[in-house]
Amino acid sequence: MPNAKSKLGWCLSNENRLKKISSNIKKASEHIDKAKHNLLAADYNVKGGFSDWAVSQCYYAMYHSLLAILYKNGYESKNHECTISAVEHIIKTVNVGINLADIAFIRTAEQMKPKDAKSLREEFQYGTQTDVNEEILSNLLNGAKEIVEKIEVGLAK
């Protein structure tokens, strides 16, 4: 897809990817709670020596916070790329607490380093490696916490 607008159109063309709904503040709040739950699990697994699982939990913490943005703004998504693209579209017109740099941290973008949150999650969830570089893990965990917090504050406005 050449741009975010055409990608959003592609996502909306199939309700199994993304659809418009009425704004649902309750669901938005539930997804923030799930995001915070995933952050706690990530901390727990880092301390317990399961850093590979902490990578997935960091990604899913951010992903659930993105779903919260969608529910508040009247969308429901069942596709990771469509979720990210829809939030990218929303943040261009609505202050939801995060910016395009935060989106780039979550998913692969041209300006990103090869190890964004989504590709790290895929590497450790589907691969066999169990040890994560401490600096990468620390950056991921801190970034996930910051993004979830920013979205929670942004949704409260």
SS (HEC) of the chain: CCCHHHHHHHHHCCCCCEEECCCCHHHHHHHHHHHHHHHHHHHHHHHHCCHHHHHHHHHHHHHHHHHHHHHHCCEEECCHHHHHHHHHHHHCCCCCCCCHHHHHHHCCCCCCCCCCHHHHHHHHHHCCCCCCCHHHHHHHHHHHHHHHHHHHHHHCC
Task: Write the pLDDT tens digit of every residue in 17-31.
Answer: 999 999 999 999 999
Q: What is the pTM of this model?
A: 0.86
CATH number of 22-155: 1.20.120.330
Average pLDDT over residues 129-133: 72
Instruction: Render pLDDT for 39-87 as a digit per residue (tens, 0 to 9).
Output: 999 999 999 999 888 988 999 999 999 999 999 999 999 999 999 999 9
| Domain limits, the chain | 22-155
